[in-house]
Structure 1
Amino acid sequence: MLDGMPLVDAHVHAPRLSTLKPAWREWAAEFGGRYDWRSAYSADGDPVPASLDALLESEGVDRALLFCEYSPRATGIQPIEDNLPLVAHNPDRFRLVANVNPHLHHPVAAEVERQLSMGAVALKVHPVHGAFSPADRELYAAYEVCADRGVPVIVHTGSSTFPGSRARFGDPALLVDVVEDFPSLDVIFAHGGRGWWYDVAAFLALAKPNVWLDVAGLPPHKLPTYYARHDFTRLATRMVFGTDWPGVPGVARNARAFAGLGLPEEVLRGVLAGNAAKLFPGLGI
């Protein structure tokens, strides 16, 4: 807990550094440079389960959702199997998030089933790094699996700085058909439409009961400006806290910055943990 409130970091990357392209390490050094994230890693560049667990404990994190990613053109291959030792070390704190890329996985439904069978509590798709539309009909089979299982889908929305990315696939409007075709499927817009599409992401989160905003990678103090055209308190009821760790100046620091926005306590508790508890099965928080 942090300052008496449960805390879920719903957007954490803890890959083996040897699986990544140089741009990822440069990103982590630039955005997490004031944060001692490397203390959770071995000299060989592998996450040390006990060290990462202790670091997140010190930051007040009760649950952390660990992302994997299959994006060879942008960041590299970060297989879900690499996160298994972290979950094995502390299955109470760590949870898996699955990932598929339709250019690599066929059939995608079978791969989603495989990763969910490992205990994943959500599916992440990264159209910007993978250079595909999130509305690609091949992905509908994956969405159907998640809808049937009651598992949410997290979709990267907004820009990315990594070479090989295709920003046009980060437009949240591309997901309108998906949201409407799968009304029982919760769809979480990672990074909240970062860059050009804050208004589109916010409009859909307020208009559609199955759309949520993951605010990872966004400085909390700037959120009211990014979403200035919307009722921020109402919009915050649709938000899920995440940091994009390790590209963050600190989990506790970001959570406290969010607390400093003056939201009603019930809304703040929802952002920091309550909304995640509703969305991700089995968090037990």
Structure 2
Amino acid sequence: MIDGEPVVDAHVHAPRLSTLKPSWLEWAERFSGPHPWRDAYDGRGDPVPERLDALMEAEGVDRALLFCEYSPRATGIQPVEDVLPIVEYNPVRFRLVANVNPHLHHPVAAEAERQLGLGAVAVKLHPVHGGFSPADRELYALYSLCGERGVPVILHSGTSSFPGSRTRYGDPQLMLDVIEDFPDVHFVFAHGGRGWWYDTAAFLALSKPNVWLDLAGLPPRRLPEYYARFGLPRLADRMIFGTDWPGVPGTARNVAALRELGLPGDTLRAVLSGNAAKVFPGLGV
């Protein structure tokens, strides 16, 4: 908790560093600033569950959603099995998020089901790093599975700086039919349409009850600028706090910056934990 408020960080990466491309490490060092994220790792570059847990505790994080990723063309393959020891160490604080790539997983729904069986509370798609359209009909079986299970889908939306990325697949408009075809599935646009598509992502979040915005990678002080056309207090009711850890100068610092925006108390609580509790099953916050 921070100042008595529960905090859910809905966007955390804690992979084994040996599974990553050099550009990922350059990104983490560039955006982490003074944040001592390496303290959570051992000399081999493997995350140490008790160290990561202690760091999250010190930063005031009550729940953290841990991502894996299968994107060999952009960041590397970060297997879901690598983050299981972290969840096992503290299953109250940490939750698993599945990840599938239709170029690697056949059939894609079967792999998602396997990872959900490991305890995942959501499925992440990374079309920009994976090089695929999130509207591809091959993924409809995955969306159907998520609808049946009550599992939300997180999608990277907007740009990415990693070599090998295909930015055009970050356009939230690609999801128009999917959002309407699967009204019972919560879709979370990670990074809130970062870059050219802030307006598109915001409009969808306000007009579709199953669309949400994840703030990972967005400096809180710049949110009024990014979403100037929509009125931040209104749009914040559709926002979920996330940092893109370790590429963040500190979770507590981001929470403090969010507080400085002057959002109503109920709205701030919704962003920090309440909206995540609505979307992700079983968080218990």
Question: Could you tell me which residue of structure 1 aligns to residue 77 of structure 2?
Answer: 77
**Structure 1 match to 2:184:** 184
**How many Å separate the matches in 2 of 1:175 and 1:190?**
13
Q: Is the counterpart of residue 150 in structure 1 residue 135 in structure 2?
A: no
Measured after TM superposition, the shift of residue 131 of structure 1 is 0.5
Match of 2:263 in 1: 263
**How far did residue 33 of structure 1 move?**
3.1
Query: Post-superposition shift, 1:34?
Result: 1.6
User: Which residue does the alignment assign to 1:40?
Assistant: 40
Distance 1:148 1:256 in 2: 38
* Correspondence for 1:282: 282
* 1:226-241 equivalent positions in 2, closer than 5 A: 226-241=226-241
1:168 aligns with 2:168: yes
Shift of 1:256: 1.2
Matched, 1:121 2:142: no
**TM-score, normalised on structure 2?**
0.99
Question: What is residue 55 of structure 1 aligned with on the other side?
Answer: 55
Q: 1:198-217 CA distances to partner (integer Å, 9 max, x unpaired)?
A: 00000000000000000100
CA drift at 1:264: 0.5
What stretches of structure 2 of length at least 5 have no aligned partner? Answer: none
Alignment of 1:248-259 (within 5 A): 248-259=248-259
User: What SS does structure 1 have at the residue aligned with 2:30?
Assistant: helix
The structural deviation recorded for 1:47 is: 0.3
> In structure 1, what is the equivalent of residue 18 of structure 2?
18
Alignment of structure 1 residues 89-128 onto 2, 5 Å: 89-128=89-128
In the aligned structure 2, how far is the partner of 1:275 from the partner of 1:212?
A: 9
Q: Distance in 1 between matches of 2:50 and 2:38?
A: 13
Q: Which ranges in structure 1 are unaligned for 5 or more consecutive residues?
A: none
Once residues 143 and 209 of structure 2 are traced to their aligned partners in structure 1, the CA distance between those partners, rounded to angstroms, is 17
d(CA) in 2 for partners of 1:252, 1:150:
31
1-structure distance, mates of 2:83, 2:198? 31
Letter in 1 for 2:200: V
1:194-250: CA deviation from partner (whole Å, max 9, x where unpaired): 000000000000000000000100000000100000021110000000000000000
Counterpart amino acid of residue 237 in structure 2:
T
The whole-number CA distance in structure 1 between the counterparts of 2:3 and 2:244 is 21
Secondary structure of the 1:97 match is strand
Letter in 2 for 1:132: F
Instruction: Find runs of 4+ consecutive structure 1 residues off by over 3 angstroms.
Output: none
The alignment partner of 1:184 has SS state of: coil
Q: How far apart in 2 are the matches of 1:178 and 1:156?
A: 15
Q: Distance in 2 between matches of 1:147 and 1:260?
A: 37
- 1:136-193 deviations in Å (ceiling 9; x for gaps): 1111111111111111000000000000000000000001111000001100000000
Q: Give me the whole-angstrom Cα distance separating, in 2, the residues matched to 1:264 and 1:86.
A: 34
Task: State the alpha-carbon separation in 1 of the partners of residues 42 and 129 from structure 2.
Answer: 27
Deviations 1:46-95 (A, max 9, x none): 00000000000000000000000000000000011001000111000000
C-alpha separation between the residues in 1 aligned to 2:114 and 2:256? 37
Which secondary structure state, in structure 2, belongs to the residue aligned with residue 9 of structure 1?
strand
Partner residue of 1:159? Answer: 159
SS in 2 for 1:73: coil
Per the normalisation by structure 1, the TM-score is 0.99
Q: 1:5-40 CA distances to partner (integer Å, 9 max, x unpaired)?
A: 000000000000000000000000101132100000
What is the aligned-residue RMSD (CA, Å)?
0.5
Percent identity between matched residues is 73
Distance in 2 of aligned mates of 1:15 and 1:126: 16
Q: Is 1:194 aligned with 2:198? A: no
Tell me the equivalent position of 2:219. 219
Q: Distance in 1 between matches of 2:268 and 2:147?
A: 28
